[in-house]
Amino acid sequence: MTGSTPAGPVPAGAGTGRRPGLAAGSARPPAEVHDVALLDLDGVVYVGPDAVPGVPAALAVARERGMRLGFVTNNAARPPEEVAGHLCDLGVPAVPDEVITSAQAAASVVAGMLGTGARVLPVGGPGVAAALRAAGLTVVGTAEDGPEAVVQGYGREVGWAQLAEAVVAVRNGARHVATNTDATIPSPRGPLPGNGAMVRVVRDVAGSEPLVTGKPDPAMHAECVRRTGADRPLVVGDRLDTDVEGAHRAGAASLLVFSGVTDPALLLAAGPPHRPDLISADAGGLLVPHPPVTGGDGATWTCGRWAATAGDSGPLELRATEGEDGDPGDGLDGLRALCLAAWARAPEGSAPQVRAADGEARRALAAWGLAAR
């Protein structure tokens, strides 16, 4: 199979009936419930050149339990062969056919619109041009070569010269296609400019809105489902606006991890398309059960030994309901309760204030980077 094959719809078995929502949790580890994990890479499997600590071992255990892995990345800089090689170097065995990049999705879309052989100007890392060639498109180097489309993806070497060629080509009538519009990418130094920042340069100067083909468009996840034959896929990602929304649009369940760009404050403010089914510190969450969240009177939500209360107005309140220090499980039960309280009070999403009812709650909020009031 090749990345140039257009993705079809997600199979019926991966449809909307399999999204339980954060309140339901998962009584069994997700690796035992879902047959395939569709893993984002940046911020999930690795940050920069290095693996997220513990994740290669966790993915190995998930495979031992029968879960298959697919790798779905909005980063278009590298071809699948190079991505698979990097994963192998990090201790995550992978082959190119298990990797779906946004460059492949863009190339499929352009080939479908313009036909094979169409002239296309790539902007980005080597993965962009490689995907275009694999889809049967003709790669050109300048605006003067008469490209019918510009495909723009992330590349660390992208600079003024490439952006200028893209602007001229788009002004001359070329279709502007962006592999993704992620504003940032995670790094050991914190978030850095992503492809979306460069796409905005071309959009603003050329005055033309790009066609965006990467996540959250469901084509990438659908293609990975097709390749793996998944019946119960689980999208594992670190971004609300691409991974979680993409899972919703593809009819798949989602696991949000905090090893990349999303933090608890962003999660609490999430609107309905950006609310995951499960949360975890990292991809090790595939291996453990996830507790449910219950709401007794509609204003108070409980998870484990934590309760979160949301009145009609004012801050949400978190308190420990029993025992002394310590939170059994993964340490996120209180955050799960806070999420349901926040989402119940603000169905469309908004940034809530949070206060602690006791010292233990104050320490928990500090650990999640939430200001305790």
CA distance 272 to 337: 16
Which residue is listed with tokens 């980005």? Answer: 124
Catalytic residue list contains 50: no
CA distances from 246 to 98, 213, 237 (A): 18, 11, 10
Return the SS3 of 221: helix
Q: Which of 42, 243, 277, 330 is catalytic?
A: 42
Tally of residues, the chain: 373
Q: Which residues fall within 8 angstroms of residue 52, CB to CB, at 6 or more apart? A: 43, 44, 45, 46, 259, 282, 283
Q: Which of 35, 40, 238, 243 is catalytic?
A: 40
CA distance 206 to 102: 23
Enter the DSSP assignment of 42: B
CA distance 150 to 155: 15
Catalytic residue list contains 312: no
Alpha-helix residue ranges (DSSP H) falling in 269-309? none
CA distances from 62 to 37, 87, 96, 185, 332 (A): 9, 16, 20, 26, 21
Active site residues: 40, 42
